[in-house]
Amino acid sequence: MNNRIFISKKTEFDVESNNLKNEIQSSLNLSLDFLKVYNVYDIFDVKKEEKEIIVNNVLAEINTDEYLEEIDLNNKKYFCVKIFDSQYNTREESASECVNLLLFKKVKIKHFKLYVLDKSVGEDELVNIKSYLINPIEAFEINLDYDYLQNNNNSSNQYEVKEIDIANNLIKDLYEQLSLAMSFEDFEFCINYFKESLKRNPTEAEVFLIDTYWSDHCRHKTFETIINNINFDKNISEENKNKINEAINFYKEISTKKNMTLMNIATSYVKHVIKNNICKDIEVSEEINAASIFIDLKDTKCLVQFKNETHNHPTEIEPFGGASTCLGGAIRDPLSGRAYVYQGLRVTGAGNILENIKDTLPNKLPQSKISKVAAEGFSSYGNQIGMATTLVKEIYHEGYKAKRLEIGAVVGVTKLENLVRQKPEAGDIIVLVGGATGKDGIGGATGSSKNLDKNSMKNSYSEVQKGNPVEERKLQRLFSKPIVSKLIKKANDLGAGGIGVGAGELANGVSLTLDDVHLKYVGLTGKEILISESQERMVVVIKKESVQLFIEEANKENLYAVKIGEVTDKNKFEVTYNKNKIVDLDRDFINSGGITNQIDVMFATDYLQDLSFENKNELKKEFLENYFSNLNIMSQKEMIEMFDFSIGSTTVLAPYGGLNQLSESQVSCQKIPIKENENICTLMSYGYNPYLFEKNIFIGSMLAVIESVTKIIAAGGSKEKIKLTFQEYFERLNKDNVKWGKPLLALLGSLIAQKELNTPAIGGKDSMSGTYESLNVPPTLVSFALTTAKTCDIVSTDFKNENNHIYLLKHELINNYPDYKKLNDNYIFYESLIKEKKVLSAFAIQQGGILEALVKMSLGNGLGFDVNTDLNILEPIYGSIIFESKEEIKNKNLVSLGKTNKILKINGIELDRNIILKNYLKPIEKIYPNSLKEYPIPIEIKQKVENKNFYSDNVDKVKVLLAIFPGTNCEYDIKKAFKRNNVECEEFIFKNLNNEKLNESINILADKIKDSHIFVIPGGFSLGDEPDGSGKYIANVIRNKKIKNALSEFLKQKKLILGICNGFQALIKAGILIDSETHNLSESDPSLIKNDINRHIAKYVNCKVVNTTSPWTQDLKFNQINNIPVSHGEGRFAVNEKKYKELVENNQIAFEYINKENNPNGSYYNIEGIVSKCGLVLGKMGHSERFGTDICKNIYGDKNQDIFSSAINYFLKNNKGDK
C-alpha cells in the first residue's frame, strides 16, 4: 500500500513559511497575503499500522506539526518542487534510516515540497516566485501526480561496454558530439594514440576518463603552459619594466626547470628554500594533497597540514551543494594525509548582494541568493562535521557576477609517529572507504574547467553534488586512529575525477574492479562509477595482509570499506566491470596530459596603473559615519553567526570579540588538539583586495602577501616560520597574449614578496575559468598565511581600557612599491613588543584604512578614541598595524595617533556611535535577518534550598558512557570536559550499516548503559537534523523497548543522564526530560524548534543558574552567570504557559538566558536548559563543555559552567566522607 502525507508546522511554530513569505515580499517587491510550505512524503509498500508508526514517530511531531492525508487546494495557487533523484537527498535517506530503526525493514520514502499561496497571486508573480525558489541545477517542478516509478535511475544496459567509433567518424564531428572539456588538439592527440598505438576504438569510459584526467581542474593545463616570449607594452614605465624584469631574472636564477610556466613560477621559491636548506620544517613527500610543515609540541613531533580549495563553478550554479562540497573536499586533502582537520576559514567573492532581483543577469541566480545559500551550504557542512570555522569573509566586487569566488581553507594535524608514507608496491591492495557512489558529480572536474554560458544552468545539473558531512565525520574519526593510520601506505580523496583519477593516481600500475563499489542505487554504468565525484570517499593502499583489519576498523566507525583493486607492475591503468575491461591505458599516455601548450605573453599598461590613493569625498561627519555601510567594510556578523566557531574547544579568538562581540578578528586561531592544555596554536589569515588588483596586478599580489603576513604578526605570530598558500582565479585566458599577462604578473609579484619576506608559498590552487560570456572575474590571487604561536602571545582586536595609547606602526609604499626593509624592521620591532606584553590589542590595516581599524577596535567593548593625524585615514596602507598599549613607546616608524576613551573622535570630528552601529550592522541584516519576535518572558524563579544529594553507593571510578550516533560531533569536547576532572569516557558507536549491526548496537547499548554511572548524548546533527527536525533518530533509539527499559532502571538507581544541544533535542522528543520516563509526546509537551530567525546561530550568550538541587547543578551558585557558547539551528524552547508553570513549580528549569539580548533563538521564557522531575536528567542547548585555558580570549566573563565536576562529585562525595 502506498501513502501520501502532507505535513506542515502549526501556525505558531511555522518559522519557515513566515520567513519565506517575508523574504519573497522583500526580494521580489510583491505583496503576499498567504504562503504555506508543506513537506510531502510518499511512503511505499507499508501496512496501515506501519504508516501510523512512521508518521507519528518519524515524519511528524504531534506538539508542533499538523498532518493531512488529503489537502484541499481549491481557490489556491500552488506548485511542487523536488530535488533531482540522482542527488543525495538527506531528508529521504534519514527518513528511511529512522523507519528502519523502528520496523527493521527498508521502506522507500520520497519527499517533495508543496508551496501554497493565495489565489490572488497573479500568473506573472507566480512565475517570478517559482524562478526565485527553484534552482534548475538542483530541483525541478513536478505535478502532484508525479510518478516515481517512471522516473528512476535504473538502466537496462548498465553493463554494456560502449565504444566510440573513430574509424568512420570525422574527429571534429566526434569532438562536438561528445561535448568534452579538453581542447580539440588534445582530443586529436588522444584519438591518434588509439589509432596508431592501440589500433582500436576507445571505450566511452576511456575517453571521458582522459577528459577528466586532462582537465584544467585535475591537471592544471593552463598553469603548465610553456611561456616563450614576454613583451612589454610601449607605454609601461621604465621603473615597472625594471621591477618586472628583476622578478623574471630572480625566477630564472632559482628555478631548476627548463621552461617557464605559471606552475613553475608558483613553486620556484619553495623549491629554492628546500634545496638550499633555508627552511627545514617543510615536508617533502610524494603525497602532495596538502601543504605540510613539521612542528614540535614538547616531546611530540607533529605534522601540520593546510590546504585551500575552490568550488567557484559549482557554487555559482548550485550554491548549497557547491559550497558544502568545497569544504568537504578541502577537508579530505589533509585527511588523506592522515591529519585530523580542526580549523577552517572561508573567503568568498560576490557581486552586490543588495542589488534588486530584477537586475540579475539572464540565466543566473541572484547575487543575494548565491551568497546566502552558499553560506548555508558551507556552514552546514562545517557545523555537521565538527570543524571550527573561525574566519569568514565575503569580498564584494561586480566582477564576481561573472562567476562566484568560493574558497575554503583548512588546517589539520597528525602525530608523526602515526604517519606512514610508503611507495605502493605490486600486490598491495586498493580499498575504497566511505560513502556510496551515485550519478551526482559526474562531469564536475570537466564542468568547472569550462566557461559558463547561458546554457550552463540547464545542462549542469549532474555536476554538483550534495555533500554528506555525517559520512565524512566518520572518515575523520577513522583516520585519526593510530591503528588505522599506520596501515595506510598512501591515500587519495575522491574529489575531482572520482575513482578514476583518485585511485588511478596511487601508483603507475593500477588494476581496478568496480563490481563491489557501494552504490546509492542500481543502474550505474561502469563509466559513471569511474568518473562520479560523489563525495565523502577515500581510496587507500594497504598491504595485502592488513586489508581485513582495515575493513574491520572501518566497520567499527559505521563505514563501508571494500577492496576495489590492486597495485601492479605493468605501468598501465586497467579497469573492469562485470568482467568486461572498460579501461586499458598506458600510464605514460595518461601522464602526458595531452598536448603541451605554448604561449607568448604581452604585459599591458591597463593592469600596471599608479596606486596613489585620493579621497574623492570631503571627510565630514556624515560621510565618515556612512562609510561603514560600504559592503566591504560593514559587519558580516549575522552571516558569520551561521558558522560554529567554538566546536573542538580549540578556538583562541572568536570571530567577533569584546563584551558586545562586535570587534572583528582578522585571523583564525586554534589550539593544536594533540594534547590537553597544549599552549601552541595555529594562526591563519588571508590577504587580497580586488580593487588594487584591477589597477595593478604586479603590486597587488605583493600587497596580498603583505596583508596576510601582517595580520598574522599583528595577532601575535612571528614572521620567522610563516608559510603561504595561494589561490589564483582568473578569467578564461584562451590564447590572448594580453590576458596571459595577468596571472603571470600576479605570480611574479608574489614571488618577489616571498623572497623579500622569506615566506615561501608551499601550496596553492588555481582556477582559470572565471568568465561568463563577456564578463570576467577580477584578477585574483588570495594569499593565505599560516604559522604557529603560543596562545599566551595572542592579542585580539578590541580596545581594552580607556586612556591607553594608540599607535600606528607605519608602512608606506615608495613609488608604488612596498618598502620591504621597513616592513621587516617593523615586524621585528612589533614582535619584541608582543614578547614584552606591551600590546593590548591590534589591528592590521586593511581595505578601509585607519578609520575602519579604529572604529572596529572600539565597538567590541563600547570604547572609543580621540585621534588627530595628518595621515589619510581612509587609505589602505597595507603592512601597517594599529595597536593599543599602556606604555609610552618610541620607534622611528611609530606614529602616536592618540588615546582610547569613550567617544569616537577623529581630527576634531565626534562621530555618533549609534549611527555608525546602524550603518555597520544594517546592510547584512537585509540578507540575514537578526531580529527576534516577541516571546513570553519568564517569572522570577526563587531559589529552592535543599541539602545536597549524593549517590548512595561507594564509587571508586565514575564510568561515563558517550553514545555516538550518526551525526554526533561533540564527543571529543565532552571527553575533554570529563578528563579535566580525571574521569575517562567510554565511547559507544551506534552502527546502522545493516539490520544485523543495528540490532547488535541496540543490545550492546542497553548493556553498556547498565554498567555506567553517567550516560551522555553529545551534541551534533542526528542524521543531519533530518527528516525535518533535530534529534529524531536518537529519540527513536531511546524509545526502543530495550533502551527504554535500560534507562528506566538506570534512573531508578539514581544515575545521571546528560544531553547537550542535539542530545537535549533527543531527550525532549523522547519525553524523558519532562517526566523522567520515556513516553509518546502529547500536544502540550514542550519542544525544541527552529530558531526564530530561521538560521543557525553560533555565539556566546550569558546564562544564569536557576536550579541548584540537581546533581548536575548543586555545586553551582544560584543566579551564577556564565558566558557560554551556543551553536544550533533548532534551539528555541517552546512551551505553553500551563506547562511552563508546572516546570517552575517542579523546579525543573535549570538555566535561563539572562535577557532578550542573550536569548539567541527566541526561547519562550528565556529557557536554556531543564532537568527532569527527578533532577537526574539534564538537557541544555549551551555547550558548557567547550571551556579551557585561552579559549576565546576575546570573549569575557566566567566561561566555566562546571556541571561536569558537580555530577562527578555526586558519585564521589561519599568516598570522601562528605555527606
Residues 6+ apart with CB under 8 A from 1010: 1046, 1049, 1050
- Helices 238-254 and 262-275 cross at an angle (nearest 10°) of 60
Q: Given the C-alpha cell 539567541, which residue does it identify?
A: 1160
SS3 901: strand
> What is the dihedral sign for C-alpha 378, 382, 383, 388?
negative
Instruction: Say how many C-beta atoms besides its own lie within 10 A of residue 276's C-beta.
Output: 9
Q: Give CA separation, 707 vs 56, 391, 712, 818, in Å.
A: 56, 15, 9, 11
Cell triple for 1111: 546533581
- Distance from C-alpha of 1130 to C-alpha of 1014, rounded to nearest angstrom: 25
Residues 6+ apart with CB under 8 A from 11: none
E strand or H helix at 1145 = helix 1137-1145
Closest CA to 705 of 762, 777, 757, 767: 757
SS3 155: coil
Residue 646 and residue 1125 in contact, taking contact as beta carbons nearer than 8 Å = yes
SS3 566: strand
Catalytic member of 111, 217, 397, 1183: 1183
Catalytic member of 1061, 1152, 1168, 1192: 1061
- Distance from C-alpha of 251 to C-alpha of 707, rounded to nearest angstrom: 23
Q: Given the C-alpha cell 534507562, which residue does it identify?
A: 1047
Q: Give CA separation, 92 vs 41, 83, 156, 473, in Å.
A: 9, 10, 25, 20
Closest CA to 469 of 217, 218, 986, 94: 94
- Distance from C-alpha of 44 to C-alpha of 55, rounded to nearest angstrom: 13
Catalytic member of 471, 664, 728, 1185: 1185
Instruction: Say how many C-beta atoms besides its own lie within 10 A of residue 359's C-beta.
Output: 11
Q: For the purposes of burial, counting CB atoms within 10 Å of the CB of 516, is it exposed (0-12), middle (13-18) or buried (19 or more)?
A: exposed
CA atoms within a 13 Å half-sphere pointing along the CA-CB vector of 567: 21
Q: 139-145, long-range: CB within 8 Å, 24+ apart, which pairs?
A: 139/81, 139/82, 139/83, 139/84, 140/81, 140/82, 140/84, 141/79, 141/80, 141/81, 142/80, 142/81, 142/82, 142/112, 143/80, 144/80, 144/114
- Distance from C-alpha of 720 to C-alpha of 758, rounded to nearest angstrom: 8
Closest CA to 214 of 500, 598, 523: 500
Cell triple for 537: 570517499
Angle, CA of 949, 952 and 953, to the nearest 5°: 140
- What are residue 1015's DSSP bridge partners? 961, 1057
- Distance from C-alpha of 317 to C-alpha of 973, rounded to nearest angstrom: 36
Q: Given the C-alpha cell 576498523, which residue does it identify?
A: 553
Annotated catalytic residue 326: no
Cell triple for 292: 605540510
Amino acid at the residue 1060: I
Residues 6+ apart with CB under 8 A from 496: 212, 215, 217, 218, 329, 444, 445, 448, 533
Longest dimension (CA), the chain: 94
Annotated catalytic residue 1061: yes
Cell triple for 179: 561535448
Query: 803-816: buried (b, 16+ CB within 10 Å) or exposed (e) per residue?
Result: ebbbbbbbbebeeb
Write out the catalytic residue numbers. Answer: 1061, 1183, 1185
